[in-house]
Amino acid sequence: MPTIEIPITSLAALPAAAAQLQHLLADHRIVAFEGEMGAGKTTFIKALCAGLGVPESEVSSPTFSLVNEYRDAHNHPIYHFDFYRLNDPSEAIAMGALEYFDSGYLCLLEWPSRVEALLPPAYLLISLFVTGPESRTLQVKIEN
């Protein structure tokens, strides 16, 4: 798959951008989100989860809990990780990250570079680039 770039002109455009990617989730259960602090990773994940039937009010950054679990419209779990606070991939192993990754359910990972050695051979990488106060460019590619 070639790299896909999606311009996001404002926060109001997030749901449409998330909808453009939703079809990729059937084939990619591990989705890694890269972007600088404040780029909108959690905000984009909220829009993506809303499209899957998760009430937006339930989606929040798992900065301190490291993982949040949501339920989609079919009552399947979605696991949302924030690895920013980890100092070593062994901390992710201790919390059971590999079992989550192997579960077959959707895993959304913020700060995946902190656990890069644990990532499966193939996953979807979504990078958010800040281009203005509310605008972003979303870059999507399959890593393998």
CATH 3.90.1640.10 fits 4-143, yes or no: no
> What would the two tokens of residue 35 be?
């972007």
Query: pTM for the complete prediction?
Result: 0.94
Q: Would the pLDDT of 144 be above 90?
A: no
Compute CA distances 126 → 52, 76, 81, 118, 121, whole Å: 17, 22, 14, 17, 16
Of the pLDDT bands very low, low, confident and very high (cuts 50, 70, 90), residue 123 is very high
The residue extents of the domains of the chain are 4-143
Of the pLDDT bands very low, low, confident and very high (cuts 50, 70, 90), residue 1 is low
